[in-house]
Amino acid sequence: MTGVLTLSAADIHPDREAALGYQGIAPGTAVPQHIDDLYDTALELLLHTVEPMAVVSEISREEFAAVYEGAGRNDPVTPVGDIFPHADYLALFAVTLGEHVSEAIGRCFTSNEFATGSMLDAAASVAADTAADAIERRVAAVLQADGRATPDTGVLRYSPGYCGWHVSGQRKLFDYLRPERIGLQLGASYLMQPLKSVSGVVIAAPKKVHGFAPSYEFCRRCETRSCRERIRALLAR
Ligand code: SF4
C-alpha cells in the first residue's frame, strides 16, 4: 500500500470525550451547557477548515531498520525496536489536517477568543490522531483483503517522539516518505508543519508481539500509559 490518500470527514471526526479530556474534563463528566456550545462551535470550525491528506509507503524490514536508527538517539531498548524485526509488513505514513485548521486556531487567539481557540486546538489534536487511526485501519483492511493478515495479525502504528523512538527519527522518516507531497514540512526541532499532523510506521506482526509490558526504562516517567488501551483493544479484536 503506497501512495497519497484522501480522508473523509468521518475519518477525522474527533471523539468528543477525548477532546474534552484535553481540557482536563474526565470522561463521563456532565458539563455545563456553555461547554457543550463551545465544543459544538469548535467542531464546526474544525470541519470547515480541515483538509485531511495522507501519504503511505510500504517499506522492507531492512529499509525500516535504517529509518528507525535515525540520528542514533533512540533509547537502547524500545517497543518499536523489539517489534519491527518480527513484522510481516511495515508501512511508513504521515497524515495532516492541513494548514487552515492551524490558521483558524491562530485567529481565535489573536482575536481573544481563547476558549474557542483552546477547544479547537484540542479537537484538532484528537482529529489528527483519529486520522492516523483511519490509516492504521486502511492498512489492516488491505492486508486482510489480500490474505497477508490473518485473525492473529495485529496492525498498530507507532510514532517518533514516543516510547523511546527519538523525535529526531523524523528526519529519516521524512527522507524516505517525502510527505512534502501533501504539504508537510519538518521544522528544525522536528515539529511538523502543519502542526496538526501525525507520522510514523504501521507494523503488522503477530498480535502477541505487540503485547509488550510497560517495563521499559522510560515507562517510569510515562504519565499517559496510552499503550495499555491500544494493546487491550488489539488483543480483544
Ligand atoms: S507505558 Fe508509556 S512510555 Fe511505556 S510503552 Fe506505554 S505509552 Fe510508551
Could you please report the per-residue DSSP string of 33-74?
A: HHHHHHHHHHHHHHHHH---EEEEEE--HHHHHHHHHTTS-S
* Residue 91 Ramachandran class (φ > 0 left, ψ -120 to 50 alpha, else beta): beta
Ligand 1 contact via 214 beta carbon (within 6 Å): yes
User: Which one is the CATH code of 3-236: 3.40.1190.10, 3.40.109.40, 3.10.580.10, 3.40.50.720?
Assistant: 3.40.109.40
Residue 147 has pLDDT above 90, yes or no: yes
Q: What is the pLDDT of residues 52-84, one digit of tens each?
A: 999 999 999 999 999 999 999 999 999 999 999
Instruction: State how far the Cα of 41 lies from the Cα of 120, in Å rounded to an integer.
Output: 8
211 lines ligand 1 (CB under 6 A): no
pLDDT at 1 over 80: no
Contacts of 192 (CB under 8 A, 6+ apart): 94, 96, 170, 184, 185, 186, 199
Residue 81 in contact with ligand 1 by CB distance below 6 A? no
Binned at pLDDT 50, 70 and 90, residue 27 comes out as confident
pLDDT digits (tens, 9 = 90+) for 160-203: 999 999 999 999 999 999 999 999 999 989 999 999 999 999 99
Average pLDDT over residues 36-56: 96
- Whole-number Å distance, alpha carbon 227 to ligand 1 midpoint, is 6
Q: What is the pLDDT of residue 62?
A: 97
C-alpha cell at position 52: 485531511
The ligand 1 atom at the shortest distance from the C-alpha of residue 218 is: 3
Pairing of the two strands 53-58 and 192-193:
unpaired
Among 18-32, 140-154, 178-192, which stretch is predicted with the lowest mean pLDDT? Answer: 18-32
Mean per-residue pLDDT, 87-110: 97
CA of 218 to the centre of ligand 1 (A): 7
Domain boundaries, the chain: 3-236
For residue 137, give the nearest of 95, 184, 183 by alpha carbon: 95
Calculate ∠ Cα 173-203-72, nearest 5°.
Answer: 40
pLDDT for 72: 96
Q: What is the pTM of this model?
A: 0.94
Separation between Cα atoms, residue 90 and residue 1, nearest integer Å: 10
Residue-level pLDDT at 237: 81
**DSSP letter at 25?**
P
Q: Is the pLDDT of residue 129 over 90?
A: yes
